[in-house]
Amino acid sequence: MPSILETLDAAFREAFVAMGYPKQIAGVQESARGDAPFQCNGAMGAAGIAKKRGEKLNPRDIAGQAIEALSTHPMIETMDIGGPGFINIYPSAEAVSNRAAELVSDENLGIEQLDPLSIIVDYGGANVAKPMHVGHLRSAVIGEAIKRLYRVQGHNVVGDVHMGDWGLQMGHLISELEIEQPNLPYFDAAKTEGYPSESPVTMDDLARLYPQASNAAKNDKDRMERSRVATAELQAGRAGYMALLGHFIDVSVAALKVGYGNLGVEFDLWKGEACVDPLIPAMIEELKAKGITEEDDGALIIRVEEENEKKDVPPVMLLASSGAVLYHTTDLATLVDRKAVNDPDLIIYVVDQRQALHFEQVFRAAVKADWYKPEQLYHAGFGTMNGKDGKPFKTREGGVLRLEDLLEIMNDAATKRLTESGIGAEFDEAEQKEIARKVGLAALKFADLQNQRLTNYIFDPERFTAFEGKTGPYLLYAVVRIKSILRKAEAKEAKSGMINAAEPAEQQLVLALDAFGRAVAISAEKYSPHILCDHIYKVAQAFSRFYTDCPILAGDTPEDVKASRLALAELTLRQLEKGLNILGIDAPERM
């Protein structure tokens, strides 16, 4: 069933069309002024149209006509004219109560279920052999939220981590391991099979070997050449090196699953660049046959700059003059793989905005190859999480902070905040630790997601973990408080019933809840979880006002009113938990 706003919107558009004006000008929206929940500003635009027709009508005249036309609408209690011609709309208590009943009976809580699309969300981007760091946070958190936003609308969504597991970094690892353990069977060029099933390295080994090799190669041309040779032989399919790569990937994926799992992030596909390397030769030949490639100083390129374009868009580099494949090449091969395996309607890349040009080049090449249409590929870029100096967040020593250390900082901040406030002091140590973990993670994720995706923001654990204001802990506390109310109601054997939204605070809460489906739809459409964050926060605020103004379990509360308010509390809890779940945030049972 449509929301109250959607029903009123349709009614006002129809009324304005009957008055001789286009429906586009007559939309209803949440009110930005006064006490009215909704407003229609169509009279302003209609007056401009009337003036062009030579009609002497001001906006207030037209607003009055619209009010007269809709005066008997069953969902409207009253309307009035504000300012130069804004129409303020007050829905009836009966309409609000009826809508509450619809939301209670709707398992989707007002979220429209759409014809399912096949969607891939490419996020994560962690590298094999490297520990996860703070730079992986936003991609993981935003990507997970976008994936869940589309899933709750009924779409078939696949999340792909898209690991970096190809290129020079693998050559560094292989060559460094050979220097340390030259007798391993993987380095016997004559051997082509029968390699050990157990990895010769751990994740700690890989985390040590890569920077060790990289630093050595920076200052030693021969060392760099050794890594380059190893890379070339790996990409040529040398059996021992391919077996080592398999070990590197398995060990890294196991560690990444723990790291992403600690963030509450899950992937359906654990693919990387290496898995599409076999597709590249045939892809290159196909692109050549289509006549869209050309030689340029020994390199093979695709020109993607459009005619009369004002900005500079460099060509896509398929093959370097040395014959090596590049990031453009593997990303295009990934698109070929996804087309063949998943045939997606939409692919969303959740990657740092600083990579915008790269994706524009790749998308244009894929469209030029006639593999995809422009609307099937979208780069959901994002800004950076910065330190108080305004630069991307680093350790005090200037290095990149590991993700596990970032989570520990948030956990410590949450523990301190809970201890200072006395929240959960009566629980045992294990439960206190679990509450602190959830509060710290909620604080971090909500602080990230509440920002408009492209903006940068400052890392501030003290502000993030506050239980007041627009924070994750504030929302968790709202959930926990409702759970506490419902436990008390159960102990008193109080039952919920039909919702009768008679009081202003009750009506305001229902209207806040009624915006859930709209918030989810717009968040998904704009790839912007911050819109859903705004909604959840407004619902929590509306419940707080309701709880203050409308006693639920007080002894003098009539039974039918108590039942109604308990039902409203249950509905609010369902929506808050569902909304937080979409954002990848879990609330504790109590605090």
**What is the Cα–Cα distance from 244 to 176, expressed in whole angstroms?**
12
- Contacts by residues 300-305 (CB-CB < 8 Å, ≥ 24 positions apart): 302/365, 302/368, 304/360, 304/361, 304/364, 304/365, 304/368
Pairing of strands 299-302, 294-296: antiparallel
In the chain, % helix, strand, coil (3-state, to 5) comes to: 55, 10, 35
Beta strands, E only, 187-343: 294-296, 299-302, 316-319
**What is the Cα–Cα distance from 518 to 8, expressed in whole angstroms?**
14
**From first to last of its 591 residues, what are the pLDDT tens digits of the chain?**
899 999 999 999 999 999 999 999 999 999 977 789 999 999 999 999 999 999 888 999 999 999 999 999 999 999 999 999 999 999 999 999 999 999 999 999 999 999 999 999 999 888 888 888 898 999 999 999 999 999 999 999 999 999 988 888 999 999 999 999 999 999 999 999 999 999 999 999 999 999 999 999 998 999 999 999 999 899 889 999 999 999 999 999 999 999 999 999 999 999 988 899 999 999 999 999 999 999 999 999 999 998 888 888 999 999 988 888 889 999 999 999 999 999 999 999 999 999 999 999 999 999 999 999 999 999 999 999 998 888 888 776 667 889 999 999 999 999 999 999 999 899 999 999 999 999 999 999 999 999 999 999 999 999 999 999 999 999 999 999 999 999 999 999 999 999 999 999 999 999 999 999 999 999 999 999 999 999 999 999 999 999 999 999 998 999 999 999 999 999 999 999 999 999 999 999 999
Tokens representing 186 are 């993987």
Please report, for residues 352, 454, 569, 571, the alpha-carbon distance to residue 482 in angstroms, rounded to integers and kept in the order given: 38, 34, 7, 10
Left, alpha or beta for 458 (phi > 0: left; psi -120 to 50: alpha)?
A: beta
Is the CB of residue 276 less than 8 Å from the CB of residue 160? no
Sole residue written with tokens 């009253």: 78
Tokens representing 282 are 């045939």
CA proximity to 548, closest of 591, 505, 503: 505
pTM, entire model: 0.94
Please report, for residues 74, 409, 471, 514, 580, the alpha-carbon distance to residue 476 in angstroms, rounded to integers and kept in the order given: 38, 19, 9, 21, 9
Tokens representing 299 are 């390199």
CA proximity to 125, closest of 116, 113, 137: 137
Question: Which backbone phi and psi does 159 adopt, to 5 degrees?
Answer: -100, 130
Question: Which backbone phi and psi does 88 adopt, to 5 degrees?
Answer: -90, 135
Is the CB of residue 191 less than 8 Å from the CB of residue 158? no
Is the CB of residue 9 less than 8 Å from the CB of residue 27? yes
Instruction: Report how far apart the first and last C-alpha atoms of the chain are (Å, whole number).
Output: 36
List strands edge to edge, sheet with 118-122. 156-160, 118-122, 346-349, 377-379
**What is the Cα–Cα distance from 44 to 37, expressed in whole angstroms?**
19
Tokens representing 286 are 């196909």
Give the relative orientation of helices 559-582 and 529-549 as an angle to the nearest 10 degrees: 160
CA proximity to 486, closest of 428, 563, 426: 563
CA proximity to 175, closest of 230, 136, 214: 230
Which spans in 290-351 are helix H?
327-341
Is the CB of residue 263 less than 8 Å from the CB of residue 183? no
Domains in the chain with CATH codes: 4-91 (3.30.1360.70), 167-269 (no CATH), 439-582 (1.10.730.10)
Amino acid at position 520, single letter: V
Q: 3-state class of 127 per DSSP? A: strand
**What is the Cα–Cα distance from 468 to 462, expressed in whole angstroms?**
12
